[in-house]
Chains A and B, each alone.
Chain A
Amino acid sequence: ETGVTQSPTHLIKTRGQQVTLRCSSQSGHNTVSWYQQALGQGPQFIFQYYREEENGRGNFPPRFSGLQFPNYSSELNVNALELDDSALYLCASSLGPSGSEAFFGQGTRLTVV
């Protein structure tokens, strides 16, 4: 059984660019949640996907968007990058949107310059 994997581990982008982050959920897990963790802060919920549909969203602007694929892997897309988007982006997968433990990946460190 493989865990949650995220790619890439690090990347640097320029302000105004677009970025796509990827997450492979743990085997059998149909729910993926994305979090943004700014330096020195706790993670903040961005959105959750359950069976390829957005199932909930935090207080993030529309330039943060996502997808979930039939194999339950997921992408986080951020358009028009801003300096404040620099953070660790964490993906968590679970067996269902509630009632089961969420397993976190190691994250993608995004730096916007």
Chain B
Amino acid sequence: AQSVTQLGSHVSVSEGALVLLRCNYSSSVPPYLFWYVQYPNQGLQLLLKYTTGATLVKGINGFEAEFKKSETSFHLTKPSAHMSDAAEYFCAVTHNNAGNMLTFGGGTRLMVKP
């Protein structure tokens, strides 16, 4: 069984400030980890993913995440928030044998203040 916990259902930052969205996972096998973004009334868009190899993963729109096996974490960061980053962010986990059958966390709503 696998699960994802996203700490903080709401995160508020000022424009230009660091964005940090937390994700911890539980998996009995090596995980594949994802971050998705969802804008209002839209589907999910992939920001970045980790499968194997380099543990620091860079994604679109300046986001990156680091896989830390010892901490079972995959936190999402962006050095400088932009107003357009305001959205709902979801962390998800799967593994090699589960393919695209994703288990999602509860989501974190990011608010960016001017």
Interface residues of A (CB under 8 A from B): 4, 31, 33, 35, 40-45, 48, 56, 58, 90, 92, 94, 96-102, 104-107
Interface residues in B86-105 by Cβ distance below 8 A to A read 90, 92, 96-105
B-side binding surface: helix, strand, loop or mixed? loop
For A43, list chain B residues within 8 Å (CB): 44, 90, 102, 104
CB contact between A45 and one of B41, B97, B102 (< 8 Å): that residue: B102
Q: Number of B interface residues at 8 Å Cβ cutoff, please give it.
A: 24
- 24 A-B Cβ contacts within 8 A? A33-B102, A35-B104, A41-B106, A41-B107, A42-B6, A42-B90, A42-B104, A42-B105, A43-B44, A43-B102, A44-B104, A48-B99, A56-B101, A58-B101, A90-B43, A96-B99, A97-B100, A98-B99, A98-B100, A99-B99, A102-B102, A104-B45, A106-B42, A106-B43
Question: Which residue of A has the minimal Cβ distance to B97?
Answer: A98
For B92, list chain A residues within 8 Å (CB): 42
Q: Is the CB of B100 within 8 A of A102?
A: yes
Starting from the known contacts A101-B49, A105-B43, 17 additional A-B residue pairs (CB-CB under 8 Å) come to A31-B100, A41-B106, A42-B105, A42-B106, A42-B107, A45-B101, A48-B99, A48-B101, A90-B43, A92-B100, A98-B96, A104-B36, A104-B43, A104-B44, A104-B45, A106-B41, A107-B42
In the complex the two chains form, what is the Cα distance from A43 to B44 in whole Å? 10
Contact of B46 with A by CB under 8 A: yes
B31 to chain A, nearest CB (A): 13
In the complex the two chains form, what is the Cα distance from A40 to B67 in whole Å? 26
